[in-house]
A and B are shown apart, each in its own frame.
Chain A
Amino acid sequence: MKTRIGFFDFTGCEGCQLTVMNLENDLLQVLQLVEVVEFRELMSEEVSEIDIAFIEGSITRRQDRERLQTIRERSKILVALGACADNGGVNLLASNQDVASLRQQVYASDAEHLQTFTPLPLHRVVKVDYRIPGCPIDGQEFLAVMQALLLEREPELPNFAVCVECKLAEYPCSFDYGEICLGPVTRAGCRAICIEGGDRCRGCRGLVDNPRTSPYHKVLEEHGLSVQEILEQYRIFHIGEE
């Protein structure tokens, strides 16, 4: 029997699922090997047993929590898809603000029945088996994780910094332009696309396992940042506070 996979989403922009869909031909090839049993972007029926569940988005409401728990119960393997699911992602920009007033700002008159709380990454609610980081995810990495799971191998994420991919591709370093870059402590795997595009790394893929924070802070201080500003750098993707 083919491996049954499902895609689910919670609070997020669906950019990660879109990345999966954008894989086009590659995706079609992989779909030969699996059976997609749930994917809101494509279908609506529900089945009871799932081999691999890919879950996008953070948990922000009580109902979400329960739904995630039932998905966990029906799934053999649960994979957090993207930054929102993995570590809270941009949603966590809300974390140091008062929830009630935020709700008022965002939902205005609907605030009463939209009972949201500070967004949670999946692992705060259920056991997460594997993760695919990034905002959005990297399509090729998604395929590689999928391949590994189909072959019953442990999926592996790179455990070195974005700088590595940046150097391999010979991009000039953001620091040379006086830009502050999170590449030195951020997990590689995105082929440093932001630096390729002329931006800096904002750390969407989360920290490497063993970030060299003290030498990194030394570099940041040399570039004129204060402790407060250094912590700010980590805030967009809420890394370093996990």
Chain B
Amino acid sequence: MSQAEILRFARALMQAYDVVGPRRKKGRISLGTLSDAADLELEFPPSVHSPKKFLFPHWDELFRFKLEGNVLLEPESAAPPRIIFGMHPCDLHAVKILDDCLFEGETDSTYRAKREATLLIGVDCVPDEHCFCTSLGTDRIANGFDLFFHRRDDSYLVQTGSDQGRQLLADHAPETMAGAHEAPLALQVKQCESHLQFPTESLPLLMKDAYEDPIWKRLGTDCLGCGGCTLLCPSCYCFNVQDKLELDLKEGQRVRTWDSCQFDQFAKVNNGDNFRSSQSDRQRHRFYRKYKYLWDQHQRTACVGCGRCSRECLARIKPTEVLNELFSQTPPQQLETSPGSEYQPQMARVERIEVISNDDRLFRLKVPASFNFLPGSFLQVSVFGLGEAPFSIASPPDGSDEIELVVRRAGALTQALHRVRSGDRIGIRGPFGNGYPLEKMQGKDLLLVAGGRGLIALRSLMLSLLAKRDNYGRITLLCGARSIETLLFQEDLLAWHRSGLIDCRFSVNEQGNSWGIPATDVSYLFRDLDINASRTIAAVSGPPEMYRQINPLLFRLGLPDEEIYLNLERHMKCGLGKCGKCRINNICVCECGPIFPYSSVKHMAEAIER
């Protein structure tokens, strides 16, 4: 499309939608409702505020109420159909982060209403000296928009990203449909002046050891606590909720407004204590929120490198400078330990192979460097020529550089793995995903329920628990298998049972089995179970049909949704939240799972129901 065609397109859109776009205001680029399509800028550095201004506004009515009698009024006014025209790739990435955070668990319906009523049109950006998207991989985006305008010499190539986007073109710029099959543009490389001097994959390790770094103290003495950095950040969403009353004092609205972790009152609790009382603590919190905590959950930063925080900071605190300084102080060899960098596997040596059933083999691998994970996390294992597949880590996170996997024969790749000999090398990537919450389990009784191969992930958990057995209460394992033959780790389990470490109970489907136990399935084991629901966490791992059967039994025992952890395996490829294979509705299992508390997936139709 040419500039003139885009102008016409925007004008047509304005007839049907509230069109928000970048325009000049007091010499700066600000997003606002367009009254004249000619004001729309197409080539511009990041706008002062991000599109968060419209998707998650500073003043957002949650509901209205009447004071007398506590009556609720009009639950929530419908969001206007809106188009945001002019989303840079970084801002589109930031919307994904907001989606992840606000749809996770209890969906934020106020955000969802706006999100669903809003179409997003992307455009290429013009980086300025504060942008560092190229360091975070947020300088381009493959989905998450309805349309995207790529700059091409003196015109734009339009890429559709959704049916709605395609429909927008068909309805309002039908002439473009003629060129529907034009080839995509070759990747354009952007140059950002600011950048990280290390790969982002090193961030979690960098941050892991930086908690006590003196740098936070220095930032604390420089920072004015004005909160500009977080208010302007496209992915910061902390908020405050207040009641605002009408002047007649009869009615009011409950509104949410942006809040900032940099403010004095943010972390104040009722008794006047402030659990993040110094500005240093708050700056550290901000950086950890951006570069560590979300990584632990979703393997990506909560920062998209838009540079807004440094652009507007009077104290000139710049994330790239802070992170590069942290990096420059860290001894280099420490940083190469994460084997999870992108798609290239690292080679691990097979130390030992144990045949543990007709179909299962245990592999002990020596990995290039030890890594940390939670039981339930998985590795991607490569066989060159056949591809990659995910396997739960079967050993506990004990800091060793040897880990164990159990591979059950299924198809080509698993059969190839069964042909591997000790001393061979295989490719691994990871660890990926979220595991069972070891820390939360401290002091609790644990009810473990395994079905078939699900026992592999629970083995890692059991070994972790046994390593510090005194830290936990009663541990009960309900374990179901097709046959005695396929029941994994039999000797270990029986030994643990006999010594009273774990109360193990078994069921097999096989009639006339060698143990002489009746053929039942695992739900049978719930019959004479004596559990103190108020102090129990359940860890369940098995095939989906088992969850459909077991979950109602767990609820009947009185276990709350958030204390039931499920292992939801899905087809996986990238492990990086990119390929989309493992998506359950709007989340990627490889990043947010495979272990989920039931409370955070129960709203998702695809999680357990078929």
A residues with a Cβ closer than 8 A to B are 26, 29-30, 32-33, 143, 147, 150-151, 159-161, 163-164, 167-168, 170-173, 175, 184, 208-210, 212, 214-216, 218-219
The 9 closest A-B pairs by CB, nearest first: A163-B226, A29-B247, A170-B48, A167-B228, A212-B224, A184-B224, A160-B263, A170-B30, A215-B224
Query: With A160-B264, A212-B224 as given contacts, are A167 and B314 in contact (CB-CB < 8 Å)?
Result: no
B58 at interface by CB-CB < 8 Å = yes
Q: Complex Cα distance A150/B250, Å? A: 12
Query: Is A219 touching B224 in the complex (CB atoms < 8 A)?
Result: yes
B27 at interface by CB-CB < 8 Å = yes
Q: Complex Cα distance A230/B222, Å? A: 17
User: Whole-angstrom distance from the CB of A200 to the nearest CB of chain B?
Assistant: 13
B487 at interface by CB-CB < 8 Å = no
Contact of A151 among B221, B249, B264 (CB under 8 A): B249
Proximity bits, B199-237, A CB within 8 Å = 1, else 0: 000000000000000000000011111111001100000
Query: With A159-B263, A214-B221 as given contacts, are A168 and B231 in contact (CB-CB < 8 Å)?
Result: yes
Query: With A163-B226, A167-B312 as given contacts, are A147 and B221 in contact (CB-CB < 8 Å)?
Result: no
Query: Is B315 touching A219 in the complex (CB atoms < 8 A)?
Result: yes
Pick the most buried of B26, B264, B314: most chain A CB atoms within 10 A of its CB.
Answer: B314
Query: Is A161 touching B225 in the complex (CB atoms < 8 A)?
Result: yes
Q: Complex Cα distance A208/B225, Å? A: 11
Q: Complex Cα distance A216/B221, Å? A: 10
User: Whole-angstrom distance from the CB of A216 to the nearest CB of chain B?
Assistant: 6
Q: Complex Cα distance A147/B314, Å? A: 36
Q: Complex Cα distance A171/B226, Å? A: 15
Query: Is B247 touching A26 in the complex (CB atoms < 8 A)?
Result: yes
Q: Complex Cα distance A94/B264, Å? A: 33
Q: Complex Cα distance A106/B164, Å? A: 73
Query: With A33-B248, A167-B232 as given contacts, are A172 and B264 in contact (CB-CB < 8 Å)?
Result: no
Contact of B223 among A29, A171, A215 (CB under 8 A): A215
Residues on the A chain within 8 Å of B226, using CB: 160-161, 163-164, 167, 184
Proximity bits, B338-351, A CB within 8 Å = 1, else 0: 00000000000000
Query: Is A170 touching B28 in the complex (CB atoms < 8 A)?
Result: yes
B279 at interface by CB-CB < 8 Å = yes
B265 at interface by CB-CB < 8 Å = yes
Residues on the B chain within 8 Å of A175, using CB: 314
Q: Complex Cα distance A177/B28, Å? A: 14
Which parts of B422-445 form the interface with A (CB within 8 Å)?
none
B25 at interface by CB-CB < 8 Å = yes
Assign chain B's interface to a size class: 20 to 34
B172 at interface by CB-CB < 8 Å = no
**30 A-B contacts (beta carbon < 8 Å):** A26-B247, A29-B248, A33-B249, A147-B245, A147-B247, A147-B249, A151-B249, A159-B264, A160-B226, A160-B227, A160-B264, A163-B224, A163-B226, A163-B314, A164-B226, A164-B227, A164-B228, A164-B231, A167-B227, A167-B228, A170-B49, A173-B314, A175-B314, A184-B226, A208-B264, A209-B264, A210-B264, A212-B223, A219-B224, A219-B315
User: Whole-angstrom distance from the CB of B223 to the nearest CB of chain A?
Assistant: 6
Contact of B314 among A26, A30, A33, A219 (CB under 8 A): A219
Nearest neighbor of B312 in chain A, beta-carbon distance: A167
Nearest neighbor of B28 in chain A, beta-carbon distance: A172
Nearest neighbor of A148 in chain B, beta-carbon distance: B245
Q: Complex Cα distance A218/B219, Å? A: 13
Query: Is A184 touching B28 in the complex (CB atoms < 8 A)?
Result: no
Nearest neighbor of B220 in chain A, beta-carbon distance: A215
Nearest neighbor of A181 in chain B, beta-carbon distance: B314
Residues on the B chain within 8 Å of A184, using CB: 224, 226, 314
User: Whole-angstrom distance from the CB of B268 to the nearest CB of chain A?
Assistant: 10
User: Whole-angstrom distance from the CB of B275 to the nearest CB of chain A?
Assistant: 16
Which parts of B13-53 form the interface with A (CB within 8 Å)?
25-28, 30, 48-49
